[in-house]
C-alpha cells in the first residue's frame, strides 16, 4: 500500500506519534516503519542524518519527498491524500479556524508539558532549581485548565476542535496521552480524562500506541498532584 513511504521514529515521541496517527487515518498502512532507540542514540545515525540533518525523529520520506517536521508531514499527507481515509481539515471556515487555532495552541501545551516532565533532562544538574520546576508546573497547570475549559464548552463526547475528529486531534492527542502517561489525574481534569478515554478506543490510536507503553503499561506519577 504505502511501500514508497518510510518513517523513522522513536517510541513515545509525541511528534512521531502525530505522523503515525495521520498515516493510519489516511489509510496509509504498510509503510516502511523504522523504530529507532533513543537510548542507543539511533536518531543520530547516518540513516536519519541522511534525510534529517537535525538528527531528529520523525524523519519521513515519500518517494523523493522529505518532510521531517511533524506538523508539516501531517499537512502533507492530508493534502496529498485528500480524498482517502478520514478528512482531517473541515470545510467550514469557522470549524477550520478553530482547528488551526487549537492545533497551534497544542505546541504551547507540548512545550509546557516538556518543561515539567523533562526538566531534569533539559537542565544540567548544577543549574536545577526547585523554584523553577514549581513555576513550570504552575504554568503547565494553567495551560491544562485552558484545555479543560475548551472541552467543557464543546460538550461531552467532543474532540479538541468540535464534534468531529480533526487534524487537531492528530497532532495534540499525543501530548494529552503523554500527560496521562506521566500521571495526570482524570479526577483533577475530568474533561481531558474523558477525551483521553474516547481517543484510546480509536483504531488509529490503538494501532500506533507506543510499543514501550504496551510493554510497560504503568507510567510515572510526576503530574499526579497538579
Ligand X SMILES: N[C@@H](CCC(=O)N[C@@H](CS)C(=O)NCC(=O)O)C(=O)O
Indicate the residue among 56 and 168 with the shorter CB distance to ligand X. Answer: 56
Which of 27, 33, 34, 69 forms a contact with ligand X (CB under 6 A)? 69
Helix, strand or coil, per DSSP, at residue 15: helix
Place of cell 513555576: 135
Can residue 168 be called a binding residue for ligand X (CB under 6 A)?
no
Can residue 13 be called a binding residue for ligand X (CB under 6 A)?
yes
Which of 8, 15, 184, 189 forms a contact with ligand X (CB under 6 A)? 15
Indicate the residue among 15 and 162 with the shorter CB distance to ligand X. Answer: 15
Which residues in 78-215 belong to E strands, given as ranges?
A: none
Indicate the residue among 114 and 183 with the shorter CB distance to ligand X. Answer: 114
Can residue 61 be called a binding residue for ligand X (CB under 6 A)?
no
Helix, strand or coil, per DSSP, at residue 32: strand
Burial class, 179, CB count within 10 angstroms (exposed 0-12 / middle 13-18 / buried 19+)? buried
Indicate the residue among 69 and 148 with the shorter CB distance to ligand X. Answer: 69
Can residue 162 be called a binding residue for ligand X (CB under 6 A)?
no
Helix, strand or coil, per DSSP, at residue 173: helix
- Within 20-59, the residues that bind ligand X by CB under 6 A are 43, 55-58
Query: What single DSSP character describes residue 162?
Result: B
DSSP H/E element including 5:
strand 5-10
Of 163, 165, 191, 157, give the one whose Cα is nearest residue 103. Answer: 165
Q: Which residues here bind ligand X, judged by CB under 6 A?
A: 10, 13, 15, 43, 55-58, 69-70
Amino acid at each position: 500500500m504505502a511501500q514508497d513511504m518510510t518513517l523513522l521514529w522513536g517510541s513515545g515521541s509525541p511528534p512521531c506519534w502525530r505522523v503515525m496517527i495521520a498515516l493510519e487515518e489516511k489509510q496509509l498502512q504498510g509503510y516502511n516503519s523504522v523504530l529507532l532507540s533513543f537510548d542507543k542514540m539511533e536518531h543520530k545515525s547516518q540513516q536519519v542524518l541522511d534525510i534529517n540533518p537535525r538528527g531528529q525523529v520523525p524523519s519521513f520520506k515519500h518517494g523523493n519527498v522529505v518532510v521531517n517536521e511533524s506538523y508539516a508531514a501531517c499537512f502533507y499527507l492530508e493534502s496529498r491524500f485528500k480524498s482517502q481515509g478520514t478528512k482531517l481539515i473541515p470545510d467550514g471556515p469557522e470549524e477550520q479556524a478553530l482547528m488551526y487555532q487549537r492545533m497551534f495552541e497544542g505546541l504551547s501545551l507540548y512545550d509546557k508539558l516538556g518543561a515539567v516532565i523533562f526538566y531534569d533532562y533539559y537542565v544540567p544538574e548544577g543549574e536545577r532549581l526547585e523554584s523553577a520546576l514549581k513555576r513550570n508546573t504552575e504554568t503547565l497547570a494553567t495551560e491544562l485548565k485552558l484545555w479543560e475549559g475548551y472541552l467543557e464548552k464543546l460538550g461531552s463526547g467532543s474532540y479538541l476542535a468540535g464534534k468531529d475528529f480533526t487534524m487537531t486531534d492528530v497532532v495534540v492527542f499525543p501530548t494529552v496521552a503523554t500527560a496521562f502517561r506521566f500521571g495526570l489525574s482524570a479526577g483533577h481534569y475530568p474533561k481531558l480524562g474523558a477525551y483521553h478515554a474516547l481517543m484510546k478506543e480509536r483504531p488509529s490510536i490503538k494501532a500506533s500506541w507506543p510499543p514501550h507503553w504496551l510493554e510497560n503499561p504503568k507510567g510515572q506519577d510526576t503530574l499526579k498532584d497538579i
